[in-house]
Structures are given as structure tokens and as C-alpha cells.
Amino acid sequence: MGREKIKVPGKVYEELEALKREVHFTLDHQDTVKKAEDRGYMEAANWIRQNEKAYKVGFSWGFEPDSEAPSGMIRDIPIREPPSPKRTIARPPPPQSRQTKRSSGSSGGIMAGIKNWFNKYF
């Protein structure tokens, strides 16, 4: 048996490469699984958990993507989920507050503001 790299699925390979750039790999697969989960690399974490022996061999010999198709770059920021659906229960309208009459368009100056305030509270 030659020293061949361990073939992993494309997404797992991308995440393992990103993880390798961010943290120091260890042979302690539980530690690496925890680091992968902390950084959001769930595919890699699941693969390492399910293939402990292959991970330990690949740690020494390296990994390569399973398919020959070019793989895209991993995203640092996860894709935003669509917003949750809006409520279906109608809310009652807010109570109407007493509003003072305002002149359309002109502010009337400071004296008009004082007069409006005075009329509102006294």
C-alpha cells in the first residue's frame, strides 16, 4: 500500500482545508471535531466523527477531494436564512391619541410651539 492521500467528499475537503488554515490539527479527533463545530464546519465534523481511522491516516498523509470536479471556495460567512413567516394573527390597532391641530406646512416659530404646548397641557 503506497502513501496515498485520503479521498474525502468535496465539501468535507473544503472544510478540512479551511480548518487547517485556521487551527492546528491534532491526532485527537474529538478535539478537532469540537474545533470544526465551533467554526461551523459541520460536514467536516461529521466526517471526522464517522471516519476516525481515515482522519488519523489523512492527518499524516493528507486529504484530497473525492471528485475531480473543481470545488468552489468555502464561505467564511454562512448563507443567510430566509426570514421567518410573518404572524397570521392580526393585532388590534393602537389606541388613538389626542392630537393638536397643526398648520399645514409652516411651523409658526417658537411662540406657536409654546402656545400649542400651553393649550395642550393647560
pLDDT digits over 52-98, tens only? Answer: 888 888 877 888 888 655 555 555 566 778 887 776 777 777 887 66
Put simply, whether the predicted model's pTM sits higher than 0.75 gets the answer no
pLDDT value of position 77: 63
- Does residue 47 have a pLDDT over 70? yes
Is residue 25 a contact partner of residue 56, using CB atoms and an 8 Å limit? Answer: no
What gap in Å lies between CA 50 and CA 43, rounded to an integer?
11
Lowest mean pLDDT among 37-41, 47-51, 78-82: 78-82
Domain range list for the chain = 6-65
| Cβ proximity of 111 and 119 under 8 Å | no
Query: Rounded to whole angstroms, how far apart are CA atoms 119 and 86?
Result: 42
CA distance 117 to 47: 69
pLDDT top residue among 88 and 9: 9
